[in-house]
Amino acid sequence: MMGSFSVKPVKVGICGLGTVGGGTFNVLKRNAEEIARRAGRGIEVAQIAARRPNPKCETGSTPITADIFDVANNPEIDVVIELIGGYTLAHELVLKAIENGKHVVTANKALIAVHGNEIFAKAREKGVIVAFEAAVAGGIPVIKAIREGLAANRINWLAGIINGTGNFILTEMREKGRAFADVLKEAQALGYAEADPTFDVEGIDAAHKLTILASIAFGIPLQFDKAYTEGITKLTTADVNYAEALGYRIKHLGVARRTDKGIELRVHPTLIPADRLIANVNGVMNAVMVNGDAAGSTLFYGAGAGMEPTASSVVADLVDVVRVLTTDPENRVPHLAFQPDALSDHPILPIDACESAYYLRIQAKDHPGVLAQVATILSERGINIESIMQMEVEEHDGLVPMILVTHRVLESRIIEAIAALEALDDVVGNVVRIRVEQLN
C-alpha cells in the first residue's frame, strides 16, 4: 500500500531519451509507487531533453525540450539525470547542473573516468551529489557493493568482464563460429554498443569502467590516461581453440591489482581457467570479481548493458539521492569511497612493470631442436613454463604451432623473450601473446 508522503515529490529532468533514457523513464513510470515507498518520497519526471522521441517510451504530457541546458537551468528541477553520453556536451551539462545547485545522476563512464576528479570537486564545493552506479556494469550494483558493502576490506585485486558488447562478440564467435563484424552489427542493433563501437572492441569502454572501479577499490584519484588498453580485434579462432584445449577460455578482462610498487590497471584479452565461474559469463552479461582481505573473493554478475538493466542502476542512484536529500551533506558516501582528503598517491604502474602469466603461440619450421631453442630462450630469462603443447604440422603452410603457457613474469621480460624468439631462423612471423590470469 502506498504510504502518505507529506513532502513534495522530488522533480527530476532526464537529459537524453535513447536506450538508457527511455528505460529510465519507463521504469520510473511503471514502478512509481514502489519506488516512492522505497525512497520515502515521490519522484516526478518534470522535464525531458531529447532531440527525437523514443518509440519505446510513452512520455505523455511530460514537457520535452530539445535543449539539454533548459533542464540544467530549470529552477523547478532538483536532480538532473545525464544520459546523453560522450565527454564534451555531457561535461558542460553536468558542470552547469552542479553550478545551479542540482544533484546529478549519470550513466556516463567516459565522463566520470576522464573528468570525474573535477566534477566531484565541484560537487563538494556546491554540496550536491553526483551518483554514477550505471556507469559500470549496467544493472549490477557493483559500485555500491565495493564502496559500501566491502568497506571493511583492504581490496587486493579486482577483475571483470565489463564490456557487454565485447563479451557478446567473443561468445558468439566461440559458440557459433560467427564472424566478428556480423556479431558487432547485432550488438549495435540491440543497443549494447557505444556510439563509436571501437570503444567496445578496443577496450576503451572497459578501461573507463576499470578506472572507476580501481579508484573506488584502492582510494586513488581517477587516472584513465594511465590505463593500459588492448582490444579483441586481433583474436583468432585458432587461439580460442588452443586455449580451450589447454583448459582455458579467452575473455576480455579488466584487471586492477594492488602491488607494493603500484597499481596494475590493464584491459586485455586474457586466458582464464575454464572452470572459474567468471570464465562462464557469456553473451552481454558482465561479471566483476573482487578480492578483499576480509571477504575473500566475491563475484558480482548481471546484465552489463541494455535499456532496463542500466535504468535499474540509474533509478537506484536516484532513490539514494532522494533519501540523502534530508541528511547532513558532510555524512554522505564519498564519490570514490574514500574521503577526498584521504586519497592515496600509490602510483599506477606502466604496463612494463605489470606481472602476468602468458599464453604464447609460436609458428615454427618442422626442424629438430626448435623446441630446445625456445626453452633455452625462456629459461635464460628466468621464465618458467607451465605447459607446452606441440601440434601437428599444418598442411597449408608446413609449420608447427607450438603453444606454451608460462608462469607469472614481468611484462618487460616477456617482451624481451618474444623478440629473441621471433629472431630465431626457425620461427616464422610474430609470436602471438595473450595474458593468463588464474584469478585465485
Neighbouring-strand partners of residue 229: 267
Nearer to ligand HSE, 208 or 433 (CB): 208
Whole-number Å distance between alpha carbons of 143 and 116: 15
- Closest distance to ligand HSE from the beta carbon of 306 (Å): 8
User: Do residues 247 and 138 touch, judged by C-beta distance below 8 A?
Assistant: no
List, in order, residues 6 or more apart from 341 with CB less than 8 Å away.
Answer: none
Q: Does 203 bind ligand HSE (CB under 6 A)?
A: no
Nearer to ligand HSE, 194 or 320 (CB): 194
Q: Site mask, ligand HSE, residues 121-150, x = CB under 6 A?
A: -----------------x------------
Q: Does 312 bind ligand HSE (CB under 6 A)?
A: no
- Closest distance to ligand HSE from the beta carbon of 336 (Å): 19
Q: Does 301 bind ligand HSE (CB under 6 A)?
A: no
Neighbouring-strand partners of residue 272: 249
Whole-number Å distance between alpha carbons of 346 and 157: 14
Q: Does 313 bind ligand HSE (CB under 6 A)?
A: no
Candidates 157-165, 176-184, 262-270, 346-354: pick the segment binding ligand HSE (CB under 6 A): 157-165
Nearer to ligand HSE, 110 or 432 (CB): 110
- Closest distance to ligand HSE from the beta carbon of 368 (Å): 48
C-alpha distances (whole Å) from 17 to each of 26, 112, 249, 252, 382 are: 11, 20, 37, 30, 56
Nearer to ligand HSE, 132 or 359 (CB): 132
Whole-number Å distance between alpha carbons of 6 and 33: 15
Q: Does 231 bind ligand HSE (CB under 6 A)?
A: no
Nearer to ligand HSE, 192 or 301 (CB): 192
Nearer to ligand HSE, 205 or 308 (CB): 205
Looking at 106, 165, 229, 291, which residue binds ligand HSE (CB under 6 A)?
165
Give catalytic residue positions: 209
Whole-number Å distance between alpha carbons of 291 and 299: 9
Q: Does 111 bind ligand HSE (CB under 6 A)?
A: no
Looking at 25, 120, 157, 192, which residue binds ligand HSE (CB under 6 A)?
192
Q: Which three cell numbers stand for residue 44?
A: 516526478
Whole-number Å distance between alpha carbons of 349 and 214: 13
- Closest distance to ligand HSE from the beta carbon of 201 (Å): 10
- Closest distance to ligand HSE from the beta carbon of 209 (Å): 7
Q: Which three cell numbers stand for residue 191?
A: 543497443
- Closest distance to ligand HSE from the beta carbon of 197 (Å): 8
Q: Does 23 bind ligand HSE (CB under 6 A)?
A: no
Q: Does 200 bind ligand HSE (CB under 6 A)?
A: yes
- Closest distance to ligand HSE from the beta carbon of 163 (Å): 4
Residues near ligand HSE (CB under 6 A)? 138, 163-165, 192-194, 200, 205, 304-305
